[in-house]
């Protein structure tokens, strides 16, 4: 499967010929996961349940368990993430307020192990 090559926060990537770039494989899955986790729930009017809105949860007071639950719920809805074995989610919350999230999962289309750090 392919999709528009676009990493959140950056311009759309163009192909060598100047056309809109396509993404496949590992990068396709990573982009879908990042888009799902960054998109606020309710932002897509035709898919109101899409998105975890992680960026909007800054300062919200979530515990690690809250974040794992939210991320797990969203990854279960993502077609590019294999559900067996289940994704591994690790969260480190520092005393300075920085939260680091690492997600390791199997891409359903390729069977590759993918790691996403947020």
Q: What does the block give as tokens for 26?
A: 């590992």
Question: What are all long-range contacts of 67-70, with beta carbons under 8 Å and residues at least 24 apart?
Answer: 67/91, 67/99, 67/101
| pLDDT for position 87 | 97
pTM (predicted TM-score): 0.80
Along the 118 residues of the chain, how does pLDDT read in single tens digits? 555 555 555 556 666 776 666 666 677 788 889 889 999 988 989 988 899 999 888 777 888 999 999 999 999 999 999 999 999 999 998 887 788 999 999 999 889 999 999 8
Q: Identify the structural domains of the chain with CATH numbers, from first to last.
A: 2-117 (3.10.450.40)
| pLDDT for position 75 | 96
Instruction: Name the strand (E) or helix (H) holding 37.
Output: helix 25-38
């Amino acid at each position: 499967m392919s999709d528009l090559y676009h990493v959140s926060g950056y311009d759309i990537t163009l192909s060598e010929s100047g056309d809109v770039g396509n993404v496949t494989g590992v990068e396709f899955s990573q982009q879908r996961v990042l888009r799902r986790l960054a998109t606020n729930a309710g932002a897509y009017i035709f898919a109101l349940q899409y998105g975890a809105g992680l960026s909007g949860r800054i300062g919200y007071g979530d515990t690690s368990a809250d974040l794992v639950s939210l991320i797990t719920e969203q990854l279960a809805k993502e077609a590019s993430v294999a559900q067996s074995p289940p994704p591994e989610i690790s969260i480190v919350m520092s005393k300075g307020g920085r939260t680091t999230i690492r997600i390791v999962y199997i891409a359903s289309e390729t069977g590759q192990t993918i790691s996403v750090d947020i």
